[in-house]
C-alpha cells in the first residue's frame, strides 16, 4: 500500500523586514505539506542572523533533528525556504533523509494540480529550471556512494549530457508556451476590439477567489480548503447592473516566497492579470495575518509590474469574523468592500462598484478613491 511521507518541518528565523512570523510561516508550510500528501510529524526552528553555509540550519541543530527523526520515524525533512543545492546534499549526507525545500514542495503541488495542457507545460518548465543547477549534486552523490574512481569522469560526462537534454526540453517548452501565449493574446485582442473590459481576481491562496467567481458567474470552478486548488485561469462573462458586459478571470493564488521559477513559467497564465483593466484583490479577512498576505500579494504584483493598476480590495469571509474590520484598515486599503462569498453577502456592492467603474462613458478610465 502507498505510505504517505512523514515529514519534519524546519524553519530558520532570519532577520528581515515585513515578513510573516516564523510560526505562521511554518503553519503554512504544514498546510502545503499536507496538500502535497505528507503527514507532518515534527517541527524544528532556529533563530539566526544568516543561514549556515554548509547546512542552512546550524550544525548544532543536526543532533536535535536526528533525535526527532528517530522518535517519529520521519522520512522527509522539509525546509521553509529555498536552500542551495550544496546544502541539500550536505544535509542528505549528514542525516540520511530525503530533503525537500519550500520551492520543491510548491512545485510538486503545482504538478499534482495541473490539469490543462498549458498548466502542465508551465509546471514542467518550472521543474526543469529548478533541477538544472542541481544536476551535478545528483551525480556527486552517486559517485560518493559507490566510491568508484572512474565514476567521477563518467558522472561529469553524464551531467553534460543531462544538461543538454534538459536545455533542449526547456527551449521546446518555451516555444509551446509562446504558442499558447499568442492564442491568449489574440483572444484578449478580440475582447478589446469588442470593448469588453476584463477584471482579474488576485489574492493570496485560499482567500476565496474561486468561490467568488462561482457565486458571481456560476462558473463551477473547484474550490477547496487547500493551497493552490486551482491553477488554470477560468474566464467567465458577467453582466453588470448597467447592462455592460465584462469578463472575470480567476487566477492562480499567490503566496509568500512564491518560487521565482513559477512566476516566470506561469507568465502566460498571469498575463490575464497583467492585461486586466481592474484587479479585484480578494483578502481572507478572517486570517490572523491577512495584512502580511496583502503585502505578499503586492510583492508579486510588483514583480509582474502591475502594482499600480486600479485595485478594488475585497475583504472576504466576513461571516467568520469575531469583530468588524476597523475603519482604519478599510481606509488604508481604499477602495474596499467587505463581503462573504460563501454567505452571499455584499455581492451586490461588488456589482455596483464594477458598474460604476466601467460606466459607459468612462470605459477603461481609472477611478481612484
Binding site for ligand GDP (CB under 6 A): 203, 205-211, 223-225, 229-230, 253, 316-317, 319-320, 340-343
Q: How many degrees, rounded to 5, is the angle at CA 155 between CA 153 and CA 157? A: 70
Nearer to ligand GDP, 87 or 206 (CB): 206
Considering only the stretches 138-146, 157-165, 206-214, 342-350, report the one whose residues sit in contact with Mg ion under the rule CB under 5 A. 206-214
Please say which residue, 172 or 222, places its beta carbon nearer to ligand GDP.
222
Q: What three-state secondary structure class fits 102?
A: helix
Q: Does 210 bind Mg ion (CB under 5 A)?
A: yes
Total residues in contact with Mg ion, by rule CB under 5 A = 2
Of 81-89, 176-184, 204-212, 286-294, the window that binds Mg ion (rule: CB under 5 A) is 204-212
What's the CA gap between 326 and 245, in Å, rounded? 34
CA gap 184, 178 in Å, rounded = 10
Q: Give 316's strand partners.
A: 284
187 CB-near residues (< 8 Å, 6+ apart):
none
251 binds Mg ion (CB under 5 A): no
Cβ–Cβ contacts within 10 Å for residue 296, how many? 21
Nearer to ligand GDP, 11 or 208 (CB): 208
Minimum CB separation from ligand GDP for residue 227, in Å? Answer: 7
The C-alpha atoms of residue 108 and residue 62 are separated, in whole angstroms, by 26
Find residue 22's DSSP bridge partners. none
Q: Which does 167 bind (CB under 5 to 8 A by kind): Mg ion, ligand GDP, none?
A: none
Task: Provide, rounded to whole angstroms, the least separation between the CB of residue 354 and ligand GDP.
Answer: 18
Count the helices and strands in the chain (H runs, E runs).
Answer: 13, 10
The closest of 284, 294, 224, 293 to 35, measured between CA atoms, is 224
- Residues 310 and 224: beta-carbon distance below 8 Å: no
**Residue 352 C-beta: closest distance to ligand GDP, Å:** 18
Residue among 112 and 320 whose Cβ is closer to ligand GDP = 320
Q: Which stretch binds Mg ion (CB under 5 A): 23-31, 166-174, 223-231, 305-313?
A: 223-231
Judged by CB under 5 A, the residue of 122, 131, 230, 293 near Mg ion is 230
Interface contacts to Mg ion, rule CB under 5 A: 210, 230
Amino acid at each position: 500500500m502507498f505510505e504517505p511521507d512523514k515529514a519534519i518541518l524546519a524553519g530558520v528565523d532570519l532577520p528581515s523586514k515585513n515578513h510573516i512570523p516564523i510560526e505562521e510561516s511554518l503553519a503554512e508550510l504544514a498546510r502545503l505539506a499536507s496538500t502535497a500528501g505528507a503527514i507532518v510529524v515534527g517541527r524544528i526552528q532556529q533563530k539566526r542572523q544568516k543561514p549556515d553555509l554548509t547546512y542552512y540550519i546550524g550544525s548544532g541543530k543536526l543532533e536535535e533533528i536526528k533525535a526527532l527523526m528517530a522518535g517519529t520515524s520521519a522520512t522527509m525533512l522539509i525546509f521553509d525556504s529555498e536552500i542551495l543545492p550544496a546544502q541539500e546534499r550536505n544535509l542528505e549526507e549528514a542525516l540520511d533523509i530525503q530533503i525537500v525545500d519550500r520551492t520543491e514542495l510548491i512545485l510538486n503541488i503545482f504538478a499534482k494540480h495541473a490539469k490543462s495542457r498549458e498548466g502542465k507545460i508551465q509546471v514542467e518548465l518550472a521543474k526543469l529550471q529548478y533541477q538544472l543547477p542541481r544536476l551535478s549534486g545528483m551525480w556527486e552523490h552517486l559517485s560518493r556512494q559507490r566510491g568508484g574512481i572512474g565514476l567521477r569522469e563518467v558522472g561529469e560526462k553524464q551531467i553534460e549530457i543531462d544538461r543538454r537534454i534538459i536545455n533542449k526540453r526547456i527551449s521546446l517548452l518555451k516555444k509551446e508556451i509562446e504558442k499558447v501565449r499568442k492564442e491568449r493574446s489574440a483572444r484578449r485582442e478580440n475582447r478589446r476590439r469588442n470593448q469588453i473590459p476584463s477584471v482579474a481576481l488576485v489574492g493570496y491562496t485560499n482567500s476565496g477567489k474561486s468561490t467568488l467567481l462561482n457565486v458571481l458567474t456560476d462558473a463551477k470552478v473547484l474550490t477547496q480548503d487547500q493551497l493552490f486548488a486551482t491553477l488554470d485561469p477560468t474566464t467567465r462573462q458577467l453582466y453588470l447592473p448597467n447592462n455592460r458586459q465584462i469578463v472575470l478571470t480567476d487566477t492562480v493564488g499567490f503566496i509568500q516566497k512564491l518560487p521565482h521559477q513559477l512566476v516566470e513559467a506561469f507568465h502566460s497564465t498571469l498575463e490575464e492579470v497583467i492585461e486586466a483593466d481592474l484587479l479585484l484583490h480578494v483578502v481572507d479577512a478572517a486570517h490572523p495575518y491577512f495584512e502580511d498576505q496583502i503585502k505578499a500579494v503586492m510583492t508579486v504584483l510588483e514583480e509582474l509590474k502591475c502594482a499600480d493598476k486600479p485595485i478594488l480590495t475585497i475583504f472576504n469571509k466576513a461571516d467568520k469574523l469575531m469583530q468588524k474590520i476597523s475603519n482604519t484598515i478599510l481606509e488604508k486599503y481604499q477602495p474596499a468592500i467587505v463581503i462573504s462569498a460563501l454567505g452571499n453577502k455584499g455581492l451586490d456592492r461588488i456589482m455596483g462598484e464594477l458598474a460604476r467603474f466601467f460606466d459607459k462613458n468612462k470605459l477603461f478610465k481609472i477611478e481612484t478613491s
